[in-house]
Chains A and B, each alone.
Chain A
Amino acid sequence: MNKETVAWRLAAHTVLILFSLTCFVPFVLLTMSSITDEQSILQHGYSFFPKDFSFEAYEYLWQQSSLIFNAYGITVLITVVGTAASLLITSLLAYPLSRRDLPGGTFFAFLVFFTLLFNGGLVPTYLVYTQVFEIKNTLWALIIPALLMKGFNVLLMRTFFMTTIPVPVLESASIDGASEFKLYYKIVLPLSLPIMATVGLFQALAYWNDWNNGLIYVTNPKLFSLQNVLNRLMSDIQFLASNSDFASNASESIAQLPSETFRMAIAVIAVVPILIAYPFFQKYFVKGMTIGAVKG
């Protein structure tokens, strides 16, 4: 190994370590803040090395909030149901579109593709969902608008089906008397696990992180996802007290509320599942991102 290679490798490590730290350190600050004593925060601000530790925020979170647990439940529910439904209808549309012999296939494919280029925008979409379908303040509002099926994912799956599933296999199964539905779930789905994992991960992440639909279509705190609770807490910490079990003596509970650390504690419990799950899925995720970029 010559001098130049060593120098380059050293430089690469230095830059990447610095950048990685920038990416990671804010999470450390967040976590440390959540286990700092509230008084200490008020005096010295958020710190990586707090003077006084306290798990008060987590204790509060534990004894308190039906609201937080409810929000966690809503988030898990929409993530599971939304991702499953999304994979089903996306693959059910992508499979027929991948069949070159389908009459009218190009027309339907264009119908999907055009949604990537042009849309009606927020105001008409909002009016369709609230005036025509009246999904305001329902669970549907967290699952359906914008998230359920994305044209891009349909095209991604279609390309995958076209390039990896050999036509002769489909043909011979069809000659053996398999129906189209049987072809779909006995042959196409089992051969498509990589793309299912990729799209599934993208969708699960989109549902877990979604705060937009909640902000636009939901005003009832019982239907708030974790992200929506976080969203409200940032602007209005009293929101929690007014929706807690202690609503009757709200003024007292606000006084006791470790507000700054409590915010950070909820942020921590919202991000931890992603941090734990991600390393297991990294392989698929990176592959999926690159398929997406190359096949556009």
Chain B
Amino acid sequence: MKRIWKYSPLYLMMIPGIAYLLINNYLPMFGLVIAFKDINFAKGIWGSDWVGLQNFKFLFQTSDAYVITRNTILYNLAFIVINLIVGVGLAILLNEIKSKFASRLYQTVIILPFLISMVLVSYLVYSLLSMESGFMNKTILPLLGVDPVSWYNEPKYWPIILTAVEVWKGAGYACIIYLAAIIGIDPEYYEAATLDGASKWQQIRKITIPLIMPVIIMLTLLAIGRIFYSDFGLFYQVPMNSGALFSTTNVIDTYVFRGLLQLGNIGMSAAAGFYQSLVGFVLVLASNYIVRKFNKENALF
């Protein structure tokens, strides 16, 4: 008892933070029961009737469930592969730059897209793709002799557009992280390899990539653990919430948002959210298990 008393100032310090976690993170977890209820605000959340798996049944009977699951997973897979290749590639090249000034300049510029909001990204994309005044339709396509494209009504272009935007926004971040890993490599490896007459390409393949493998594996598995989540801003803002594009732009996060705030379909929205949280959790556990298999040090827990 005396011991606890001695620590009471420390517990006191923790109160605001713990209170915030309880409100912001733990209270909503109890709210997951909403997925199993027919919410009626007159009766309140706890007073509403239980409907069992009804909400899930409705969700999985629609084609929505298939489309949003497929989109979420395929986009994430593409993002993981391309971000890895572009990030590692840029980092290796950046490491070749010996001028401090140039290196700093490149780093500053390629990180810019990471610093701005998705709303602003959607403005930049709009200035390129707007039907009436976009740079593509007014300048690039006429040069090539191609007719203007109504970008915001054509679902087929969006897998490429969204992937390009994601890489544009995220490459700088990935690059800096891999660069930090590369800088940490002992220069003696390279000196020895150069003496043995190894070419740059051989050095990259035999030294750089194997030595940053732990970072690559860790980041990739973390991304796989989050494969059921997507950047809501990317899929909501950049396609301008355009209904014509839903077949290739709707993901679980945007579906839940629209269900809740635009359609008022709380039951189905909650069911989709529950599906996402649960599968997401299982995937985090599974990917952590795999990281542990490779290397205990890199595991999250």
Which residue numbers of A lie inside 8 Å of B, CB to CB? 4-5, 8-9, 11-13, 15-16, 19-20, 22-24, 26-27, 29-30, 33, 41-42, 44-47, 88-90, 92-93, 95-97, 99, 102-103, 108, 111-113, 115, 117-128, 131-133, 144-146, 148-149, 151, 154, 179-181, 184, 205, 208-212, 216, 227, 230-231, 234-235, 260, 263-264, 267, 270-271, 274-275, 278-279, 282, 285-286, 289-290, 293-294, 296
Residues on the A chain within 8 Å of B168, using CB: 22-23
Which residue numbers of B lie inside 8 Å of A, CB to CB? 3-4, 7, 9-11, 13-14, 16-18, 20-21, 23-32, 34, 41, 45, 89-90, 93-94, 96-98, 102, 104-113, 115-120, 122-124, 126-128, 130, 132-135, 137-139, 168, 171-173, 176-177, 180-181, 199-200, 215, 218-219, 222, 232-233, 237, 240-241, 253, 256-257, 260-261, 266, 269-270, 273-274, 276-277, 280-281, 284-285, 298, 300-301
Q: What distance in Å separates the Cβ of A196 from its nearest Cβ neighbour in chain B?
A: 16
- From A47, A90, A208, B135 is in contact (CB under 8 Å) with A47
Q: What distance in Å separates the Cβ of B295 from its nearest Cβ neighbour in chain A?
A: 12
- From A46, A113, A210, B301 is in contact (CB under 8 Å) with A113
CB-based contact A30/B124 at 8 Å: yes
CB-based contact A289/B108 at 8 Å: no
Residues on the B chain within 8 Å of A154, using CB: 17
Residues on the B chain within 8 Å of A286, using CB: 107, 111, 176
Q: What distance in Å separates the Cβ of A262 from its nearest Cβ neighbour in chain B?
A: 12
CB-based contact B138/A46 at 8 Å: yes
Residues on the B chain within 8 Å of A12, using CB: 93-94, 96-97
CB-based contact A124/B29 at 8 Å: yes
Q: Knowing A46-B133, A146-B24, say if A124 contacts B96 (CB, 8 Å).
A: no
CB-based contact A45/B9 at 8 Å: no
Q: What distance in Å separates the Cβ of B130 from its nearest Cβ neighbour in chain A?
A: 8
Q: In the complex the two chains form, what is the Cα distance from A11 to B97 in whole Å?
A: 10
CB-based contact B17/A93 at 8 Å: yes
CB-based contact B3/A128 at 8 Å: no
Would you give 5 A-B contacts (Cβ < 8 Å), ordered by A? A16-B110, A125-B28, A181-B9, A211-B237, A227-B120
Q: Interface SS of chain A: helix, strand, loop or mixed?
A: helix
Q: In the complex the two chains form, what is the Cα distance from A27 to B121 in whole Å?
A: 10
CB-based contact A231/B237 at 8 Å: yes
Q: In the complex the two chains form, what is the Cα distance from A135 to B119 in whole Å?
A: 23
Q: 3 closest pairs, A vs B, by CB?
A: A124-B31, A45-B138, A120-B28
CB-based contact A30/B127 at 8 Å: yes
Q: What distance in Å separates the Cβ of A23 from its nearest Cβ neighbour in chain B?
A: 5
CB-based contact A16/B90 at 8 Å: yes
CB-based contact A46/B127 at 8 Å: yes
Q: Knowing A12-B94, A47-B139, A121-B273, say if A26 contacts B122 (CB, 8 Å).
A: no
Tell me which of B27, B117, B168, B171 has the highest count of chain A C-beta atoms within 10 A of its own C-beta: B117
- From A29, A149, A230, A231, B128 is in contact (CB under 8 Å) with A29
Q: In the complex the two chains form, what is the Cα distance from A119 to B17 in whole Å?
A: 17
Q: Which residue of B lies closest to A16 (CB)?
A: B106
Q: In the complex the two chains form, what is the Cα distance from A184 to B65 in whole Å?
A: 50
Tell me which of A151, A154, A211, A216 has the highest count of chain B C-beta atoms within 10 A of its own C-beta: A211
CB-based contact B113/A23 at 8 Å: yes
Residues on the A chain within 8 Å of B123, using CB: 30, 230, 234, 263-264, 267
Q: In the complex the two chains form, what is the Cα distance from A108 to B256 in whole Å?
A: 31
Q: Knowing A122-B273, A235-B241, say if A274 contacts B21 (CB, 8 Å).
A: no
Q: What distance in Å separates the Cβ of B50 from its nearest Cβ neighbour in chain A?
A: 16
CB-based contact B133/A89 at 8 Å: no
Q: In the complex the two chains form, what is the Cα distance from A96 to B127 in whole Å?
A: 49
Residues on the B chain within 8 Å of A29, using CB: 124, 127-128, 135
Q: In the complex the two chains form, what is the Cα distance from A285 to B9 in whole Å?
A: 32
CB-based contact A282/B108 at 8 Å: yes
Q: In the complex the two chains form, what is the Cα distance from A101 to B277 in whole Å?
A: 34
Can you name 11 extra interface pairs (CB under 8 A) apart from A20-B110, A46-B135, A124-B31?
A: A11-B93, A16-B94, A20-B106, A30-B123, A42-B132, A45-B137, A93-B13, A149-B21, A208-B117, A234-B240, A264-B127
